[in-house]
């Protein structure tokens, strides 16, 4: 038995090989993440006598090229949650934190948990692309929210309340009517400095140019309301530049978000579980691909509990002697991105309140019992994931049978 502990970092790794009874087969040494050195490492590990298993931490993206190269070379690779390695006993009072010590610790963990190590299976190209795109989608969505709040803060000083003038939904390219309106009428004086008739005519031409519906009555209301507004910033070139640059940045990010949303949907449609996932209530064109991106292939989870643990929505039992806690918090040790998506699904369920949906009925029951918000929302996420797991596994099994 050869337990290969690899402490992965950016561009390089520390590798050590340990055998039973603490025998150090290979001292910790550095291997760079190049095709040549990883190929040499794979060839050397394959030449060792006995069964060889590689153990590394499932952290960030740095471990992926190492795991991919060694897996392709036919070596058993296990990517372990770093929390398991962290909590693995050092059996020492000394606190040592070096790459060499970590590689040995990982190798010893592999020896002690040899029979329970799960083989790493690299994601296929579509799932890999979908997950990366979802992470970028999340980043740009946060930027969009920040830029939107920044624009509203600026407009509160030039045209207070302009963001509430229209309730038109966003277009496919991410543009919104109030944002386009603010780009042209960036200061309240741009409206009230004109006569009512002149503004209505200019607003009509603006609607035609941008493809929005025109209402003379609404234009008159906007002109009348503008007379009573207070602007803190003057109507000058500097203020115009600040507002229009903020609008341009928001529009650019909004377009990117919608491009990512459409591309994620296109990728998700190619996955076998797509029709099943999209049939779940509360899941739409946006949340469906996000769920599939973060969960990945459900066949890698041994049972439903593994999936809920991966999401961090599993309860944490607390019992000692005669004491047993009646209510415990969730572990929150899984994927925060998946938990965020699940909470959005729960929000959609509560808003729509479908009476025949089992997850909503469960949520409503817990809410009626007086459970706190986060308690019943987390419980709903747990139930949703169990249904997700069962339906997707059943669907994939039916596809395999049909083939």
Q: pTM score, two decimals?
A: 0.79
Sole residue written with tokens 């049939």: 279
Q: What is the pLDDT of residues 278-299, one digit of tens each?
A: 999 999 899 999 999 999 888 8
Of the candidates 44, 41, 48, 57, the one whose C-alpha atom is nearest the C-alpha of residue 106 is: 57
Asked if the structure places residue 265 within a domain, the reply is no
pLDDT of residue 175: 92
Of the candidate ranges 65-74, 141-150, 332-341, 363-372, the one whose mean pLDDT is the lowest: 332-341
Percent pLDDT > 90 in the chain is 57
Instruction: List the beta bridge partners of residue 18.
Output: 3, 24
Q: Kindly state whether residues 298 and 254 are assigned to the same domain.
A: no
Reported as a pLDDT band with limits 50, 70 and 90, residue 204 is: very high
Reported as a pLDDT band with limits 50, 70 and 90, residue 98 is: confident
Q: Kindly state whether residues 178 and 246 are assigned to the same domain.
A: yes
Asked if the structure places residue 269 within a domain, the reply is no
Q: Kindly state whether residues 221 and 180 are assigned to the same domain.
A: yes
Of 59, 92, 122, which residue constitutes the final position of a domain? 122
Q: Kindly state whether residues 118 and 138 are assigned to the same domain.
A: no
Domain holding 158, by residue range, is 134-259
pLDDT of residue 80: 85
CATH number at residue 36: 3.30.420.10
Q: How far, in Å, CA of 193 to CA of 199, rounded?
A: 9
Residues in contact with 145: Cβ distance below 8 Å, sequence separation at least 6, in sequence order:
none
Of 259, 293, 322, which residue constitutes the final position of a domain? 259
Q: Kindly state whether residues 291 and 339 are assigned to the same domain.
A: yes
Angle 332-311-135 from CA coordinates, rounded to 5°: 105
Q: How far, in Å, CA of 188 to CA of 191, rounded?
A: 6
- The number of domains in the chain is 3
Asked if the structure places residue 160 within a domain, the reply is yes
Q: How far, in Å, CA of 310 to CA of 294, rounded?
A: 10
Q: Kindly state whether residues 138 and 254 are assigned to the same domain.
A: yes
pLDDT of residue 317: 57
Q: Kindly state whether residues 291 and 388 are assigned to the same domain.
A: yes
Asked if the structure places residue 267 within a domain, the reply is no
Q: How far, in Å, CA of 400 to CA of 40, rounded?
A: 38
pLDDT at 90 over 70: no
Q: Kindly state whether residues 98 and 200 are assigned to the same domain.
A: no
Average pLDDT score over residue span 177-190 = 95
Task: Report in angstroms the alpha-carbon separations of 2 from 38, 47, 162, 193, 385.
Answer: 18, 11, 67, 81, 37
Instruction: Please tell me which of 100-104, 251-255, 314-318 the model is most confident about, judged by mean pLDDT.
Output: 251-255
Q: What is the pLDDT of residues 46-80, one digit of tens each?
A: 998 889 999 998 877 888 888 888 998 999 998 88
Reported as a pLDDT band with limits 50, 70 and 90, residue 201 is: very high
Q: Kindly state whether residues 211 and 253 are assigned to the same domain.
A: yes
pLDDT of residue 122: 74
Q: Kindly state whether residues 142 and 253 are assigned to the same domain.
A: yes
pLDDT of residue 328: 58
Asked if the structure places residue 266 within a domain, the reply is no
Of 72, 97, 122, which residue constitutes the final position of a domain? 122
Handedness of CA 235, 236, 237, 242 (dihedral sign): negative
pLDDT of residue 117: 87
Q: Kindly state whether residues 311 and 377 are assigned to the same domain.
A: yes
């Amino acid at each position: 038995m050869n337990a290969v502990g690899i402490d992965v970092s950016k561009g390089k790794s520390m590798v050590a090989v340990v055998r039973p009874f603490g025998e150090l087969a290979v001292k910790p040494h550095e291997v760079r993440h190049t095709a040549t050195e990883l190929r040499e490492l794979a060839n050397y590990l394959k030449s060792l006598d006995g069964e060889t298993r590689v153990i590394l931490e499932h952290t960030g993206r740095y471990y992926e090229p190492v795991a991919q190269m060694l897996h392709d070379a036919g070596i058993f690779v296990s990517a372990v949650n770093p929390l398991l390695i962290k909590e693995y006993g050092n059996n020492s009072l000394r606190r040592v934190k070096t790459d060499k010590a970590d590689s040995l610790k990982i190798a010893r963990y592999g020896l002690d948990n040899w029979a329970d190590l799960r083989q790493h299976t690299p994601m296929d190209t579509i799932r890999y692309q979908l997950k990366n795109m979802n992470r970028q989608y999340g980043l740009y969505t946060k930027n969009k929210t920040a830029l939107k709040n920044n624009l509203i803060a600026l407009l509160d000083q030039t045209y207070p309340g302009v963001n509430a003038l229209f309730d038109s939904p966003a277009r496919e390219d991410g543009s919104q009517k109030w944002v386009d309106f603010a780009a042209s009428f960036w200061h309240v004086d741009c409206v009230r400095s004109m006569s009512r008739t002149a503004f209505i005519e200019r607003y009509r031409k603006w609607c035609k140019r941008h493809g929005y519906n025109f209402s003379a009555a609404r234009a008159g209301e906007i002109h009348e309301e503008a007379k009573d507004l207070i602007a803190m910033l003057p109507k000058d070139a500097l203020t115009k530049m600040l507002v229009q640059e903020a609008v341009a940045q928001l529009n650019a990010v909004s377009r990117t978000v919608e491009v990512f949303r459409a591309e994620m949907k296109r990728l998700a449609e190619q996955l076998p579980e797509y029709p099943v996932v999209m049939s779940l209530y509360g899941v739409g064109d946006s949340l469906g691909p996000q769920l599939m991106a973060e969960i990945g292939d459900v066949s890698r989870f041994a049972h439903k509990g593994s999936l809920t643990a991966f999401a961090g929505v599993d309860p944490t039992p607390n019992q000692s002697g005669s004491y047993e806690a009646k209510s415990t918090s969730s572990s929150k040790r899984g994927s925060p991105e998946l938990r965020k998506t699940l909470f959005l699904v729960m929000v959609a369920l509560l808003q729509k309140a479908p009476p025949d949906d089992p997850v909503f009925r469960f949520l409503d029951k817990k809410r009626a019992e007086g459970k706190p918000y986060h308690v019943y929302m987390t419980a709903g996420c747990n139930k949703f994931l169990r249904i997700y797991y069962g339906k997707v596994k059943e669907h994939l099994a039916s596809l395999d049978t049909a083939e």
